[in-house]
Structure 1
């Protein structure tokens, strides 16, 4: 009996060793694939703008329209949402606004595109607002029209609250602005924030996230565009694969993870916003619920204008670009009239 038990133990040891070796081989393959994918992505989508020095690092910015000191209809600053970069809003509405005579600056948020993450607490919209404000000061940009999409609804409102001297007006597109039902509870959130959850997520970020993300990127993008279809050439034109690099993928997750708690603290302050504000959202948005965020913000910001587009989803800067550009131009005219 003892001999049999020893044989079973040896077999189990061999099996465990084989499984361990297989796991290590898969991890090594994932690491190698992620490294290669990152190199290919950065070669395909190299830096396209300039980098502006701020305390602790640099922010990357794309520019279009009249240059510094040239006559213009005003400066528009574009702030992208989650899983994106500066090229996303620039190709959607930035170049069009530049063609209409605006100086357009589109920032890679800290940790995205080719901006440094800079600060350990850069997941906070308040920290990102401080860094954007520093960059605008370094570029000698006076009060500008701030356009924030989705996640950057929290960032744009933080700019207006904490750095009002930088903000001539706010145009918020499908903005995230308020805590949402069930956002801070649930077994998933508890697991995600646990040590084992963090370790597994970090491992996945450096092994399987990039290969799987690359394979399913079109499907993920289609979900965000619903109920409208994915525009042809969007993935490549908006340089979406940049988010699959491990450092950016991790920054994106941390930004999303900390957003709920940040909005709990910031949302009671919205009545203090003094900048002229327009909020544009779709009533069919499956990602950011308009009644929870856009409609609530419009009730709280003094004088805010709310535009709700029937049948339009989350990516309205693409699928309803005419309306978005028109509202930004109306806001610019309103701001100029107020200044005069």
Structure 2
């Protein structure tokens, strides 16, 4: 009798989940262009100015989110002067990747580079946040023709002590994980989404409309929740494997991080990366947490503009026959 009741409850939850998915997808429809690459279809939003003078800016979000987190406010502000390409990472937002594929930065870098090639984008300023702090360097290493410079916001770049949350491990467990994802994750997540997001913003307050304006609850769809969990549980090993190669990165890098980030430690990730890549400029924002683009968009834009200006000067010097070394890129600064 108990088993029959349990099956009935799971069936009801599964039906509720499918209904919830339909509601979410009607509320937050796809707004970009679909690009087909090997193993995935990527949703790409292309906004802003079109000219041949400025580098395009490619923006890639972190875990548990989608391209709207990079669009608001940063991407929209940059689009006033630049061409901005916003990408839903494979498996996130309205991008879909084959379920049997791995979820590492190596694979996602290949997919994104392929999409940029189809769009004729590159070299570009690549702006990455959080989880994609591992993806940006991977792109610079494997697809340098697509990357003119790298701006990393609160990036994950090195192995860390501990894990990524017990629920991510559980949901990636065969049979049990999909069962949870297709039954309780969405209804439970709707309750927990807002307090969870507020925690990531600390010590800054989360904007009141953040959850709705960024379509954050799309994460609760089963296929995206599973993809996000796989991204997280495989990340630590991925950065351990790629970290020894960071010294081979040739493009200029700027890292902007908060000194009170409790989600991604600046000491564990940012400073060791800067030590491995000497031509890295590090900006540590006092009293700022993990969501640096929302906390200090003007400073982030200023650093992107500074990189574009320096790259333009380097191009001009190269055309004039002057040797300009990337070692001149400034180091640590604290506002």
Q: TM-score, normalised by structure 1?
A: 0.89
Q: Structure 1 residue 40 and structure 2 residue 27: aligned?
A: no
Q: Structure 1 residue 64 and structure 2 residue 41: aligned?
A: no
3-state DSSP of counterpart to 1:151: helix
Contact in 2 for aligned 1:66/1:72 (Cα 8 Å): no
Contact in 1 for aligned 2:263/2:290 (Cα 8 Å): yes
3-state DSSP of counterpart to 2:174: helix
Residue in 2 that maps onto 1:220: 196
The 2-side partners of 1:190 and 1:317 are apart by 26
Q: Structure 1 residue 297 and structure 2 residue 302: aligned?
A: no
| 1:1-340 pair list within 5 angstroms | 17=1, 19-67=2-50, 70-99=51-80, 101-118=81-98, 120-183=100-163, 192=170, 197-340=173-316
Provide Cα deviations, 1:280-326, integer angstroms capped at 9, x if missing partner: 00011010000000111111113100000011000010011111111
TM-superposed CA distance for 1:193, in Å, is 9.0
Contact in 2 for aligned 1:273/1:302 (Cα 8 Å): no
Contact in 1 for aligned 2:170/2:176 (Cα 8 Å): no
Contact in 2 for aligned 1:274/1:302 (Cα 8 Å): no
* Inter-CA distance 189–53: structure 2 relative to 1 (3 Å threshold): closer
Count of equivalent residues: 316
* Inter-CA distance 192–212: structure 2 relative to 1 (3 Å threshold): closer
TM-superposed CA distance for 1:72, in Å, is 5.0
TM-superposed CA distance for 1:167, in Å, is 0.3
Provide Cα deviations, 1:238-282, integer angstroms capped at 9, x if missing partner: 110111110000000000010011011001111011111000000
Contact in 2 for aligned 1:72/1:102 (Cα 8 Å): no
Structure 2: gaps of 5 or more residues: 317-335
Provide Cα deviations, 1:182-211, integer angstroms capped at 9, x if missing partner: 349x9x6997499xx433222111100000
* Inter-CA distance 288–44: structure 2 relative to 1 (3 Å threshold): same
TM-superposed CA distance for 1:122, in Å, is 3.9
Residue in 2 that maps onto 1:3: none
Q: Which deviates more from structure 2 when the two are superposed, residues 56-65 or residues 43-52?
A: 56-65
Q: TM-score, normalised by structure 2?
A: 0.90
Q: Which has the larger radius of gyration?
A: 1
The 2-side partners of 1:106 and 1:72 are apart by 20
TM-superposed CA distance for 1:118, in Å, is 3.6
The 2-side partners of 1:84 and 1:110 are apart by 12
The 2-side partners of 1:109 and 1:118 are apart by 13
Contact in 1 for aligned 2:201/2:290 (Cα 8 Å): yes
TM-superposed CA distance for 1:332, in Å, is 1.1
